[in-house]
Copies of this chain bind each other. A is one copy, B any other.
Amino acid sequence: MRVVNLAETFARFSDHWSPKIVGELNDCHVKLVKLVGEFVWHAHAAEDELFLVIAGTLRMRFRDREEIVRPGEFVIVPRGVEHMPVADEETHVLLLEPKSTVNTGDAGGARTVTDLDRL
């Protein structure tokens, strides 16, 4: 039941697109991730994902539109919905998603991260 300070924890890593586990509850993980540039189009068959922006700006692309998510804002991407996160500048995001979630979802490929660090 430790208190997690988001800014202090973001300061402990610098790599991009590599989520760090900072908490767990109800079979979900709370993760912090730094984004910059474009990710890959993907969907998660069985997992809904929450993206809460802490710093920077997240452009969440869907096949039919794009949502801009700024600090103090969140968006939930339901299971099955294709999405591609894009960040024009370094952007800090808190993720909440089931423990089973793989970052690249059904896309797989070189940007898949397994064995996530815990901070």
Contacts and interface: CB of A to CB of B under 8 A. Distances in A.
Interface stretch (A13-21, A43-51, A109-117): A43-51
A34 to B, nearest CB: 16
Contacts of A69: 3
Q: Which bracket fits the contact residues of A?
A: 35 or more
Contact of A73 (B3, B70, B76): B3
B73 A25 contact: no
B1 A76 contact: yes
Given A25-B48, A30-B50, A96-B96, A5 B72 contact: yes
A74 B4 contact: yes
A102 interface: no
Contact of A1 (B2, B7, B26, B78): B78
Interface of A: 1-7, 23-28, 30, 47-50, 54, 60, 62, 67-70, 72-78, 81, 96-98
